[in-house]
């Protein structure tokens, strides 16, 4: 088992609560922010897949940073951890190896778990959105 394989919680409710507070308790804005994350997540993961499988280092780095940052903002801790580990692997594996060879290997190693974690995170966020405004 590698880092990012489930040590972090899928979702940190404290991060969501802080987000709600930063948005001044405006339930509508907070919900739209979370819904946007959910809506963009499949596209972010697909972009990551495309850039990794085609050996596009710059594109892959941009995609993984986008996934990491957006995940951190909504408290998707495990997904953010997986993105951090992939970012580290991208940097390490391309130092001495051709990205056209290294990146497809990283795709094979990381993408299945990232997709699965993305589905689980989406499910939990959708359940959170269905809860009353106090987050449970």
**What CATH architecture is 13-129?**
Up-down Bundle (1.20)
pLDDT for 54 equals 96
Q: pLDDT band at 132, cuts 50/70/90?
A: low
Give, in order, the Cα–Cα distances in Å from 45 to each of 28, 66, 99.
Answer: 26, 10, 19
Q: pLDDT band at 136, cuts 50/70/90?
A: very low
Tokens representing residue 21 in the block? 């507070």
What's this model's pTM, rounded to 2 decimal places?
0.88
Q: How far apart are CA 122 and CA 126, in angstroms?
A: 6
Query: Whose CA is closest to 135, among 49, 16, 55, 53?
Result: 16
């Amino acid at each position: 088992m590698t880092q990012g394989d489930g040590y972090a919680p899928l979702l940190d409710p404290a991060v969501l609560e802080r987000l709600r507070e930063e948005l001044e308790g405006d339930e509508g804005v907070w919900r739209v922010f979370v819904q946007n994350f959910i809506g963009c997540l499949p596209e972010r993961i697909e972009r990551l897949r495309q850039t990794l499988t085609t050996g596009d280092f710059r594109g892959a780095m941009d995609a993984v940073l986008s996934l990491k940052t957006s995940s951190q903002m909504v408290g998707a801790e495990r997904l953010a951890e997986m993105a951090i580990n992939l970012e580290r692997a991208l940097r390490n594996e391309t130092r001495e190896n051709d990205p056209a060879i290294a990146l497809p290997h990283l795709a094979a190693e990381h993408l299945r778990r990232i997709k699965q974690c993305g589905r689980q995170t989406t499910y939990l966020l959708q359940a959170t959105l269905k809860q009353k405004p106090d987050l449970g």
